[in-house]
Amino acid sequence: MIEVQELYHSFKIGKKGKEKEVPVLKGLNFAIQKGEIVSIVGRSGSGKSTLLHILAGFLTPDRGTIRVDGTMTTSFTEAERAAFRLSTYGFIFQNFQLMPGLTAFENVELPLKLGGVDRVSRKQKVKELLTLVGLTDVQHHYPNELSGGQQQRVSIARALITDPPIIFADEPTGSLDSETEQDILLLIQSLNRARGITFVIITHDDTVAETANRIYRMHDGELKEGGVTHAI
């Protein structure tokens, strides 16, 4: 599903004309199979968030290639990246990134509304997903009226709304207590089994990482496979 070859990326720091180039990703080679849950685990500053942004098309690597289901995404224009991202990826974030002025229903609905889907179809799809994540009773509540776990379930429903084959989860349980964290991880595993969605989880937490089929460990911009887990 995702194939990465010789991926390099650096950032420049310092004053203009005196910038220093700091390597962040150092020739990464790895593959993620369709229907896997893969964790990329590492400390803050290891390069894992930069890798996520490049995989998702928010950043362009210095060199290297990324193929997603056979399509080379690293050769896309900005407009092509945006269109591919909308059709192929869903996103779950640590801080939920919900619109505070929209209800749970409206937050989940928003990607379809932006995509021009008609009102009747939007309503049916949103209701199905809110039922799936167990939030029908709070669908008209605003984010500040929801618990952290409920907000993350809204975020998951929003990630699912366009039926993406791949979901990127950036520290998806980082703002949750341990009991709620387990509930969210079980929901991710259930969605993976039921829908065959490929999940890529970025985390610093080994407990979260071990819920995956496979773990990659990132250290100082280099990535090594950490083995197969037995969680699923």
Residue 50 maps to a domain: yes
Q: What's the pLDDT band for 227 if we cut at 50, 70, 90?
A: low
Q: Quick one: which H or E segment has residue 90?
A: strand 89-93
Residue 49 maps to a domain: yes
Contact predicate 116/101, CB 8 Å:
no
**216 pLDDT exceeds 90?**
yes
Q: In this structure, what CATH number is given to the domain that contains residue 84? A: 3.40.50.300
Residue 17 maps to a domain: no
The domain of 104 spans 2-12+22-228
In b/e form, how buried is each residue of 72-89, taking b as 16+ CB within 10 angstroms?
ebbebeeeebeebbeebb
Helix axes 148-160, 178-195, angle to 10 degrees: 20
Q: How far is CA 48 from CA 93, 104, 105, in A?
A: 14, 30, 32
Residue 91 maps to a domain: yes
pLDDT score, position 20: 85
pLDDT score, position 232: 39
User: pLDDT per residue over 144-165, tens digit each?
Assistant: 999 999 999 999 999 999 999 9
User: pLDDT per residue over 17-60, tens digit each?
Assistant: 777 888 999 999 999 999 999 999 998 888 999 999 999 999 99
Residue 181 maps to a domain: yes
Q: What's the pLDDT band for 226 if we cut at 50, 70, 90?
A: confident
Residue 219 maps to a domain: yes
**231 pLDDT exceeds 50?**
no
pLDDT, greater one: 65 or 220: 65
Residue 67 maps to a domain: yes
What pTM does this model have? 0.89
Q: What is the mean pLDDT of the chain?
A: 92
pLDDT score, position 14: 79
pLDDT score, position 230: 44
**170 pLDDT exceeds 90?**
yes
Stretch 194-220: mean pLDDT:
93
Q: Of the ranges 3-7, 26-30, 111-115, 226-230, which one carries the lowest mean pLDDT score?
A: 226-230
Residue 140 maps to a domain: yes
**63 pLDDT exceeds 50?**
yes
Number of domains, the chain = 1
Q: Which residues contact 18 (CB under 8 A, 6 or more apart)?
A: none
